[in-house]
Amino acid sequence: MKRSNQGSAHVVIIIIIVLALLATLGFVFWQNFINKPKTEAATKTTSSSTASTSETTPVTYLDAGVTSDFPTPLTWKVPESWSIDSTGSDPKSLDDSVVKTFTMTSPSGGYSVVYTIGLNSGAGGTCGPNTSTVEYISQKPIENLPQGRFVEAINNNKPASGYRYVSGIDQNTQGVIGTKVGDSDCLIGVGLVTLSQQHTYTLLGANIIIKDLSDTSGSPKTIDSIDTIKNAFNNKEYTEAVNMLLSTKLGN
């Protein structure tokens, strides 16, 4: 009877050892194989979240434009990542005749915004016979420049085949406001916004130049596909350029 009890005790001990071994192996398997993907998933989620946060980082803007040397300040906001160059001198007096140009260029170099400001200087002309028509147009008022409005358009370059883009500040006139698809493109893309009658203070032009769609002088080229222009409009740097023009402010 005693030997039988000892045998039973040995069996119980062996069973306990086997169960403990299985439990240990099970824990190791769970830790290294079952729980690992969860850790990787958490890591991927964190990385994705970090990337998303980075993409929504606010844009820092710098002020550019003309101030005290001109009859009234004319300024606009430029993303910090864009470069700013200027040509032309400031007037020594309000009777001087000067033209000053500012060129803001995007980080990729694919987009530029060019402001040309004249004091006692101007330009003009008439729209001659032309058969180009508007295929697409979008307009927005400029809150702090009531004399101007932002115009974005694509013109059908008849009688030649192809399309040209227009993107810049235009006159806030009924002729411009009333231009719609199918109309002549004669009234849009002219610019020449009068800032003040005194001293002939004029915004001679404020336009977006899309490098791939323009010639070496910055004038829009005729493009075979309208979709090529639409794709160029659908670009982060182009949106920043549009926001720059919409931030234009006359006065303090």
Give me the mean pLDDT over the 213-228 stretch.
Answer: 94
pLDDT at 79: 96
Q: Residue 50's pLDDT is what? A: 43
Predicted confidence at residue 26, as pLDDT, reads 67
- In three-state form (DSSP H/G/I as H, E/B as E, the rest C), the secondary structure along 23-86 is HHHHHHHHHHHHCHHHHHHHHHHHHHHHHHHHHCCCCCEEEEEECCCCCCCEEEEEECCCEEEE
Question: What CA–CA distance (Å, rounded) separates 149 from 191?
Answer: 10
Residue 236 has pLDDT above 70, yes or no: yes
Helix (H, G, I), strand (E, B) or coil at 150: strand
Q: Which two tokens stand for residue 178?
A: 């009333």
Q: Above 70 in pLDDT, residue 215? A: yes
User: 220 with 167: CB under 8 angstroms?
Assistant: no
Cβ atoms of 188 and 176 within 8 Å: the answer is: yes
H or E stretch covering 174: helix 174-177
Dihedral sign, Cα of residue 38, residue 40, residue 45, residue 46: positive
> For residue 88, is pLDDT > 60?
yes
**Taking all residues of the chain, what is their mean pLDDT, rounded to a whole number?**
84
The pLDDT-based confidence of 46 (bands split at 50, 70, 90) is very low
pLDDT of res. 51 = 45
Least confident of 50-54, 108-112, 128-132: 50-54
Amino acid at 239: T
Interacting residues of 24 by C-beta distance below 8 A, sequence separation 6+: none
Distance, in Å, from the CA atom of 215 to the CA atom of 81, rounded to the nearest integer, reads 25
Assigned token pair, 219: 């004038």
CB 108 within 8 A of CB 211: no
Q: How large a percentage of the chain has pLDDT more than 90? A: 59
Nearest to 76 by CA among 195, 242, 247: 247
The whole-number average pLDDT for the span 1-15 is 61
Q: Can you tell me the distance from the alpha carbon of 252 to that of 247, in angstroms, rounded to the nearest whole number?
A: 13
Q: What is the mean pLDDT of residues 96-111?
A: 96
Rounded mean pLDDT, 67-95: 93
- Domain edges within the chain: 2-55, 61-250
CA 149 remoteness from chain centre: 18
What average pLDDT does this structure show over 76-105? 94
Per-residue pLDDT at 40: 45
Q: Are strands 83-87 and 74-79 parallel, antiparallel or unpaired?
A: unpaired
pLDDT at 128 over 70: no
Q: Which of 179, 209, 206 is nearest to 195 (CA)?
A: 206
Determine the pLDDT at residue 11.
67
